[in-house]
Structure 1
Amino acid sequence: MVVSLPVGPELTSKNVGRAQYVFTDGKYNGSTLSFLARNQLSLPVRDLPIVGRTGLFRFARGYVITNTRFCKKGINPTI
């Protein structure tokens, strides 16, 4: 499954990567971030620890804060 990684939540936001967190455009092109945690979608906000990184993120440490956005587009809803 490939999900786009936009700059912002707007439908017109530029895509800079994929859900695998491989950046495909801009100054982070080719850099990666890896997370390892249970992404419990029932929680409104989750934090995921960074466990791997390459490129410009080589020495990154910390975590990512994520939340869920629902988008009803056509017949099938998207999470």
Structure 2
Amino acid sequence: MERTLRSSEPQLKGESLVGFSGPDTFPPILDSKLAAKLLHCTVNEVQKLAREGIIPANRAPNGRWKFSRDALIAWCVGR
């Protein structure tokens, strides 16, 4: 079953993220792809930083990384 996006939800188009005009418009919990968009880097870089404990992250039971938008913003400001 395909999920339909509501018109208010951001949409990925190619490498650009349509619908996010600033950090506060990202959802509060991010996956690796959205964290990479927020930090302006690649998914592989985000996952490496998470594995090394450099950025705040948590592993979900399915093994995927989850990131708090606010924690990532605080990390960026405190660098």
Query: Under a length normalisation based on structure 2, what TM-score does the superposition of the two structures give?
Result: 0.22
With CA pairs under 8 Å and 6+ residues apart, which has the higher RCO, 1 or 2? 2
- Kindly name which structure, 1 or 2, has the bigger radius of gyration based on alpha carbons: 1
Larger helix percent: 2
